[in-house]
Amino acid sequence: MKFDMHCHTKEGSLDSKTSVETFARQFLILGYDGFMIADHNSYRGCKAWDRMAKDHDFDDIVVIRGLEYDTKDAGHILVIMPDGVYPAILKVRGMRCRRLIRIVHALGGVCGPAHPYGAAASSMMSIRHPLPKLLHDMDFVEVFNTCELPESNQLATYLAKQYRLPGIGGSDAHTAKYIGMAYTEIHQRITCNNDMIHALKFHATTEAGGTERIQPRRGRYKENWLGVTAFRLYNRGLGKVMSPRRGVHHYRLRKRRRELR
């Protein structure tokens, strides 16, 4: 089955101009079997799809409800939770990566680094103090991202092989013109989040690829010291401001887990 595992909807990402309906219709035209919503710290795009998923126009497309989480210390991490599970704590950026992994796995989900060798401020292996040991506890690696240079994607592919993790590919599309520029082929039948989690957790055979974009001048801004500093101030600063809210969600989560036991 053919998927794009990294798409940003305008319902859930402030920097996206493409609706979840547009993604679904375009992928159907292109012959994809599905795609994954990966909005930043938000499930609004996923819930928008929940409201329209019963439309018979979309019977032949599988939409994975995912999320791209902004960690405090390891860049962007793609997260897939079980069907119908939308933890409120993941809506608040700024958790440390180790805690994020524990929460995701405790709730039955999977996670892995997005564009691990991408922009210095938002990619796991490109930050000042990378945490490669955390990869032992992750479930996959995004090995192809159309926003990245060929060298970055090659390094990501090597990383996945080094840790024996499945590799996925995504367009990281925020606008419709990038739809279809990346793919993930999974040699297993996928009909929902639970199927995708099972496939990645038990290392189903995957193939990823596509076409890298021509990097615009503004894209290189993320690599210089000013861009890196601005991104860190935004990501960590906002995460610190919102940490009391995250603490409340974390308390509720632990309480809920105790009740389930």
Averaged pLDDT for residues 239-258:
57
What is the arithmetic mean of pLDDT over 94-102?
Answer: 93
Confidence band, pLDDT 50/70/90 cuts, at residue 7: very high
Task: List the alpha helices (DSSP H) in the chain.
Answer: 20-30, 44-52, 97-106, 150-162, 193-201, 217-220, 225-241, 243-260
pLDDT digits (tens, 9 = 90+) for 167-191: 999 999 999 999 999 999 999 999 9
- Write out pLDDT tens, residues 51-71: 999 899 999 999 999 999 999
Cα torsion 175, 53, 140, 3: sign: negative
The Cα 261–Cα 245 span in angstroms is: 25
Q: Which amino acid is at 91?
A: K
Q: What is the pLDDT of residue 72?
A: 87
List phi, psi (to 5°) of 101. -60, -45
Residues 68-95 have a mean pLDDT of 93
Question: Which band of pLDDT confidence, cut at 50, 70 and 90, is reported for residue 217?
Answer: very low
Radius of gyration in angstroms for the set of CA atoms belonging to the chain, rounded to a whole number: 17
113 touches 125 (CB < 8 A): yes
Sole residue written with tokens 């055979």: 205
The per-residue pLDDT for 126 is 81
> Regarding predicted confidence, which is higher, 197 or 205?
197
Ordered domains of the chain (ranges, CATH): 2-260 (3.20.20.140)
**3-class secondary structure, 204:** coil
pLDDT for residue 144 is more than 50 = yes
Residue positions counted in the chain = 261
* Cα dihedral 131, 132, 136, 141 in deg (nearest 10): 110
Cα separation, 80 vs 192, in Å, equals: 11
Instruction: List the beta bridge partners of residue 103.
Output: none
- 84-93, 213-222, 226-235, 249-258, range with greatest mean pLDDT: 84-93
The span from the CA of 187 to the CA of 184, in Å, is: 10
122 or 145, higher pLDDT = 145
Instruction: With a cut of 60, say whether residue 20 has pLDDT above it.
Output: yes
